[in-house]
Structure 1
Amino acid sequence: MSAGVAPQFLDRTTRKRVLVWVLLIVDAVTLLIATLGATWIRFSTLYAGVGIENISADVSYWQVAFVVWALWLGMLYREGLYDLERLTWGAGEFSRVLRALGIGVVGFILLTYVLKTPGLSRAWTLLAFAIAVVTVSGGRLAVRTWLRRQRLAGRMHRRTLVVGDNAEGERIVHRLLDSPEQGLTPVGCLAAARADSLALDYCSEIVPKLGYAREIARVVREHEIDTVIIAGSAFEHEVISRIISELRDIDVSTHVSSGLFEVLTSRVLVRDIAGVPLMTVAPVSFSAANLRTKRVFDLTLATLGVVLGLPVWLLLIAAIKIDSRGPVFYRQTRVGKDGAEFGMFKFRSMYRDADERLKELRAQNEATGPLFKMKNDPRVTKVGKWMRKFSIDEFPQLLNVIRGEMSLVGPRPPLPHETEQYTDHHWRRMEVPPGMTGLWQVSGRSSLTFDEMIRLDLYYIENWSVGFDLSLLMRTVPAVIFARGAY
């Protein structure tokens, strides 16, 4: 949300109705495109016939397409993909879409056995499924992008109340204010019932204190609160239970913070053991099998990227040679996994004397920590400035991925002199192979501070999975296209 833009709040009922209808319409259209598109691709017509025993009327594939369309919509609903309280975005949503469509296909195949349709094309079924996965996921990505832009523009925000004015409550407020794209705008906080026992009142200097936790029902109604977030460490368990009980009959979303800010939600499970609700944090799996899967994934996509991108590479090579004298590629020593050094490839984006001129520009460094960043770096060529804006100069690192020195996703490899200032805490980011993209690249890129970059890299390491890698690769595309946070 731009500075100075006041957030606009929709009432809870209207907000939910708008989002559910947008999702439903997008899914209906994308599923229709998938089923009818598969029919056209497979048969070059929408009116190809399919024989069904015991049914004398002619049945066309476009009619079958509508049956599958309705079945898939039902499966998406069954998976809770229109329940905004259960809906997750990103990799979690993709897996649920995939499961819903997969179950729909299985149900359709069983239906064909019941109706005895031996003539139904299996190729059509598989083609419709493949297209549906792409179109539905793409459509929902478009909805997320639209919603994110709405929120960054100050629209469609939710009045959020933070309950608990301790350090955790303060951190929650800061995280929400720093993440306007989430749409949860804190409008106030409630102090703990024993506020006089706290040495500090953390939240009231950031957002207004609207009362005490025992007054939560009144505050929620008077201030038309949409979402309540309870700082778990601010209260005893029976107090939290009482707060939740008081909100039971009020139409409001209620969340309890676990305090596990650095753990991915997909790793956190709530289980009932002997009547006790326990929060289980699944371990990070760095097994040899998973790392081999990551390596095969990297090698396949990197090789494909080099082959398909070869015509673009040739154009870039010509542009670099015309723009300035010097080599096309620039090989820079970087630090990789466990501190091993390697030569990282880039398209040259600077003049040949860039390294010598660095000492003159140190005083104009705009980055924090050991990094050097400068928005209008005079060492960058005209073509280089354009390549850097869209991260095109990074393409040759696909060769490093193929060589096994880098991964497609991971912490960015630092320069050797940068690691001289690393603490043991900072060195943890080098426990995995460095990547071409990572969590901080899709969370602000050059606009992040060094400490924020370290925090995001460690978050990635703590929560690594192949699915997480795939999610970050998908999020990298719009971040690069729109040059968010790039110098």
Structure 2
Amino acid sequence: MQKIIKRLIDKLLSLIVLILFLPVWFFIAILIKVTSEGPIFFIQDRPGKNKKIFKVYKFRTMKIGSEEMIKGQEVMTDDDRITSIGRFLRRSKMDEIPQLLNVLKGEMSIVGPRPERIASLEDYNDEISKRLNVNPGLTGLAQVSGNIYLDLKDRYKLDVYYAEHFSLWLDIKIIFRTISVVLFGEDKYVDKCLVDLNSLQRGTIS
């Protein structure tokens, strides 16, 4: 029942945000186009639930030719590959807004482990693969617990924890924490995880 309610909430929230703020999305698209060369959207194949590949949508925040990334290495706020408007979009998380289309299509959820690059699957063991038992999300437990300031192993632990302990109450807490993260920054929550990382001893994430 909780999963059915979660899907209904996903569809409702996605429609409301997309429609209500449509003028804002058009304005962002114009800013991206006039401040840097390249397309408005960044589209890339990502693995979803049960490793099903789908195309994820984002507002483009990086300069053309910056797509090559190192597995497990996040783009930091001072990365010179980020465009001028891209810095604001990433800080405010507004670059993720187009993924609401993925949510409407059922490929993603509002809350869930962030979708990684396909190349990352090469490093997955059976324990890490559990993060793919649920739909990836716009925001997740790792994203509100330090995110880019966390070790990759700890982010995986949090993703697996979410996949194994999903509840609507946990989703609500993650959504409200996400608002705080947007307002105050990811670095403010490095030591304020919603769950105790030291207690996550199950599995062999290494």
Aligned partner of 2:3 in structure 1 is: 291
Q: How does 1:149-164 map to 2 (within 5 A)?
A: none
Could you tell me how far 1:436 is from its partner in structure 2?
0.5
Could you tell me how far 1:401 is from its partner in structure 2?
0.3
Could you tell me how far 1:459 is from its partner in structure 2?
1.6
SS of residue paired to 1:354: coil
Aligned partner of 1:329 in structure 2 is: 41
SS of residue paired to 1:331: strand
Aligned mate of 2:101, from 399, 404, 418: 399
CA–CA distance in structure 2, aligned partners of residues 436 and 294 of structure 1: 14
8 A contact 2:139–2:175 mirrored in 1: yes
Residues 1:353 and 2:65 aligned together: yes
Aligned partner of 2:192 in structure 1 is: none
Could you tell me how far 1:377 is from its partner in structure 2?
2.4
Aligned partner of 1:372 in structure 2 is: 73
Query: CA distance change for structure 1 residues 374 and 347 in 2, over 3 Å: closer, same or farther?
Result: closer
Residues 1:478 and 2:190 aligned together: no
Letter in 2 for 1:441: Q
| TM-score, normalization by structure 2 | 0.86
Residues 1:432 and 2:144 aligned together: no
CA–CA distance in structure 1, aligned partners of residues 149 and 56 of structure 2: 23
Tell me the alpha carbon deviations over residues 107-132 of structure 1, each in whole angstroms, 9 at most, x when there is no partner: xxxxxxxxxxxxxxxxxxxxxxxxxx
CA–CA distance in structure 1, aligned partners of residues 114 and 98 of structure 2: 15
Q: How does 1:404-419 map to 2 (within 5 A)?
A: 404-419=106-121
SS of residue paired to 2:186: coil
CA–CA distance in structure 2, aligned partners of residues 435 and 374 of structure 1: 18
CA–CA distance in structure 2, aligned partners of residues 459 and 418 of structure 1: 19
Tell me the alpha carbon deviations over residues 232-288 of structure 1, each in whole angstroms, 9 at most, x when there is no partner: xxxxxxxxxxxxxxxxxxxxxxxxxxxxxxxxxxxxxxxxxxxxxxxxxxxxxxxxx
8 A contact 2:127–2:160 mirrored in 1: no
Q: How does 1:110-125 map to 2 (within 5 A)?
A: none
From the CA coordinates, give the structure whose radius of gyration is larger. 1
Q: How does 1:112-151 map to 2 (within 5 A)?
A: none
Letter in 2 for 1:340: K
Q: How does 1:373-392 map to 2 (within 5 A)?
A: 373-375=74-76, 376-392=78-94
Could you tell me how far 1:290 is from its partner in structure 2?
2.5
8 A contact 2:10–2:104 mirrored in 1: yes
SS of residue paired to 2:21: helix
Letter in 2 for 1:372: Q
Aligned partner of 2:162 in structure 1 is: 460
Could you tell me how far 1:475 is from its partner in structure 2?
1.2
CA–CA distance in structure 1, aligned partners of residues 45 and 138 of structure 2: 15
Aligned partner of 2:145 in structure 1 is: 443
Letter in 2 for 1:354: S
Aligned mate of 2:26, from 305, 314, 334: 314
Could you tell me how far 1:333 is from its partner in structure 2?
0.9
Instruction: Choose between structure 1 and 2 for higher RCO, CA contacts under 8 A separated by at least 6 residues.
Output: 2
SS of residue paired to 1:412: coil
CA–CA distance in structure 2, aligned partners of residues 433 and 485 of structure 1: 26
Aligned partner of 2:194 in structure 1 is: none
8 A contact 2:57–2:99 mirrored in 1: yes
8 A contact 2:47–2:115 mirrored in 1: yes
Q: Tell me how large the CA RMSD over aligned residues is.
A: 1.6
Which runs of 5 or more structure 1 residues have no equivalent in the other structure? Answer: 1-288, 363-369
Letter in 2 for 1:450: L
| TM-score, normalization by structure 1 | 0.37
SS of residue paired to 1:327: coil
Tell me the alpha carbon deviations over residues 318-366 of structure 1, each in whole angstroms, 9 at most, x when there is no partner: 11011112111111111100000100000001122223xx37xx5xxxx
Letter in 2 for 1:341: I
Letter in 2 for 1:352: I
